[in-house]
Structure 1
Amino acid sequence: MEFRLMTYNIFGARLTDGRELARSIKKYKPDFIGLQEVDRNTKRSKFRDVTQEMAQELGYNYYYFQKVMDFDKGEYGISFISKYDVKIIYIHELPGKSKEKRQVLAAKLSPGKFKRKILVVNTHLDNKMDNKHEELDDLFSVINKFRGDVKFLCGDFNLLPTTEHYGKIRETWNDSYFEGKDLHGNKNEAIRDLETARIDYIMAQKDANYKVKESFYINDNSRDWTKLSDHLPYMAVFDVK
């Protein structure tokens, strides 16, 4: 069964609004979207609930916002939007000294559409490297406590693929960027390398029963994507067995 997973750091929606962000990705038909740098009821976002706006524009009923900190007369954090019913939501705060209390937000989808129990974990890791080992250890530890047959990890990791920290993640997780094909039918393993700078990821836990059909950054000619965010949306299309 196909499962279309997207991660998108939306830059607080400070350049646009939730409805326009949703319109920009609608044609890619995401089943689940992990969002980072999300405003809710802040002054700069004109006191809108950006996640709710996006969900309404997409026509999806399931969404959740997790606060990282109070900001600009409102809240700032991470969130998700799901096309399918969500049975359980897990929340965890990662260790760190930053004023941004880095969060783990996970959703276990309700059984029915998929034979396997799918768990999607969304996070926005600290951009400071001094506690990265502790942060990753805690992240992996808590994910192991979350229940799911097939586990996906997505978000803005704030680290490059050439770092030792990326190598640590790859010990137990597969990077969708190197699996499946791109939008032109090219095998990603043959055309992509670790030196390409990127910090947005979608990972699948090793030994899970899945296959990547496609993985790609969205940067088509439908609009100027730099006017929406300082990140591009990244998507992986899975076949979940």
Structure 2
Amino acid sequence: MNKAFLRTLFTITCLLQFIFGAEIVTANEKDTLRIITYNIHHANPPSKPGLIDLEAIAAVINQNKPDLVALQEVDVNNRRSGKNLNEAAALGSLTGMHHHFVKAIDYEGGAYGVAILSKWPIQQKDSLILPMAEGSNGEPRVLAIVAVEPKPGKPLVFASTHLDLKEQNRLLQAEAIVKKLSTYSQPVILGGDFNAKPESDVINHFDTYFSRSKTSGSAAFTIPEVNPDREIDFIMFRPKKRFQSVRHEVIKEPYASDHLPVMVELTY
């Protein structure tokens, strides 16, 4: 093979890489999603009873630059946090994110429930009232759902929930959430306060249908805010082949809430 031919072949290869290379890299490249789940304790720092410090919650979110946030224990226009304060909308404004709130219960003249913040416009909003065992006297719980499209052709569904304190209700709620989220054809990410430990029947049920981001030992603990001793806040996703967890961090922020937020990075 002569040198002239090799030079010509090299030139053609370089031209093809120049013309098509960027497209090929983009097609094969995986994007990274940064997800937070955070029980915000209605923005009341445990060390300061009665104080509402929404700016402290917003600061935690802004410092970690998430794409999607699952929020629990969110007040909207009630006496406890302020009749004119919609915490979901205010956090959206303070973080520059879109928001979706779902009421779990009427509370002190307003509402209380879960919410979602999204870096991207919310294309679809949905919700589900979660079941409770008859006579259990549990607190009504809900699932908030949004559909977003981080990039054209790469849609996903993101959901936030907060399960009941009573295990019989949590099991029913886990089954309902799995059934509801299985109706979506898009990839799904679920964040929340599950009020259950990793080895529980509730989390085992979720693990049958979802992959779960993990870290080991005490680094996984999310509650209480000082000297945490257990893990009950999780981020899950499906299908497994679509995502890979590349980072799992419990953010050590002991002031703003009685839970520590969980931040996970997923390639997508």
Distance in 1 (CA, whole Å) between partners of 2:220 and 2:82 is: 40
Identity of aligned residues (%): 26
| TM-score scaled by length of structure 1 | 0.84
Q: What residue is the counterpart of 2:166 in the other structure?
A: 128
Structure with the bigger percentage of helix: 2
1:10 paired with 2:47, answer no
1:233 paired with 2:261, answer yes
Which portions of structure 1, spanning 4 or more consecutive aligned residues, are displaced by more than 4 angstroms?
none
Map residues 138-157 of structure 1 onto 2, 5 A cutoff: 138-148=176-186, 150-157=187-194
Distance in 2 (CA, whole Å) between partners of 1:35 and 1:237 is: 17
Give the AA of the match of 1:235: M
Which has the bigger relative contact order, CA under 8 A and spacing at least 6? 1
Q: Do 1:17 and 1:50's aligned partners in 2 also have CA atoms closer than 8 Å?
A: no
Q: What residue is the counterpart of 1:201 in the other structure?
A: 234
Give the AA of the match of 1:65: F
Q: Do 2:36 and 2:68's aligned partners in 1 also have CA atoms closer than 8 Å?
A: yes
Q: What residue is the counterpart of 1:213 in the other structure?
A: 246
Q: Do 2:162 and 2:195's aligned partners in 1 also have CA atoms closer than 8 Å?
A: yes
Q: What residue is the counterpart of 1:40 in the other structure?
A: 76
Say which one has the larger Rg. Answer: 2
Q: Do 1:160 and 1:166's aligned partners in 2 also have CA atoms closer than 8 Å?
A: yes
Give the AA of the match of 2:143: V
Q: Do 1:18 and 1:51's aligned partners in 2 also have CA atoms closer than 8 Å?
A: no
Map residues 1-241 of structure 1 onto 2, 5 A cutoff: 1-15=31-45, 16-47=52-83, 48-60=85-97, 62-96=98-132, 97-98=136-137, 100-110=139-149, 113=151, 115-148=153-186, 150-178=187-215, 197-219=230-252, 225-240=253-268
Query: What is the root-mean-square deviation in Å for CA atoms of aligned residues?
Result: 2.1
Instruction: Kindly state the Cα deviation for residue 174 of structure 1 after the two structures are TM-superposed.
Output: 1.2
Give the AA of the match of 1:119: V
Q: Do 1:22 and 1:57's aligned partners in 2 also have CA atoms closer than 8 Å?
A: yes
Structure 1: gaps of 5 or more residues:
179-187, 220-224
Give the AA of the match of 1:141: K
